[in-house]
Structure 1
Amino acid sequence: MRRCPNRCTGLAPDSAFHPAPVFAPHVELTSAPRSPAPASAPSPPINEVLHARDKDNTVDLYVVSDIKVDTSTDPYTPSGGTVSHYPDWEPAEEDLRPRKYEYRLPDLTA
């Protein structure tokens, strides 16, 4: 397993990274903040948004929500869940909201 050379955030077997002309699965894992409707607002990393917007890539978005976790077992045991599949996902600007900022600190020695 290694990181995608296109700076995606996921891990995949070496042969799964953007092969041409055959496409292998490329899986990204992310999470949505806990809310009454957790599947309504996943938080894809910026690199995945850029990756999906690249016309050379075909990206399907899968959202798994409502997973139950039994915390009385060791290790915890997940079960259930609802899968939503969005084929050929191309995130539109109007559907994205900035949720995090990076701040560059000023140079104190200048």
Structure 2
Amino acid sequence: MTEEILEMAAGQHRLGIMDDATYRKITVRHLGVGTLPSAEPISGEEVKAMRERAHLSQAALARYLNLTTGYVSQLERGTKQAKGAALVLLNVIRRKGIDALL
């Protein structure tokens, strides 16, 4: 049944009957989160380089990401790997710069 729903939605989208937002909503709901762009892992060196490019202290970056300063320090040292929302936000900063969060 899921295949039929997705096929029907794809056809309607191709014909212009269904807008992009509705089509994405249907495909994400039926195919799962895996259809969304994945957040790539970020090394400690990358976290530190992004922070320094933005001219931020660890405390300032932590505040933007709603994390503790200690956690940012652990990310930069490589003792922890960013996951969840922190990883997504770090990927946004990597692609668009810190201004995307301001």
Length-normalised TM-score, structure 1:
0.20
More helix by share: 2
Greater C-alpha radius of gyration: 2
The structure, 1 or 2, with the larger RCO (C-alpha pairs under 8 Å, 6+ apart) is: 2
Length-normalised TM-score, structure 2:
0.21
More strand by share: 1
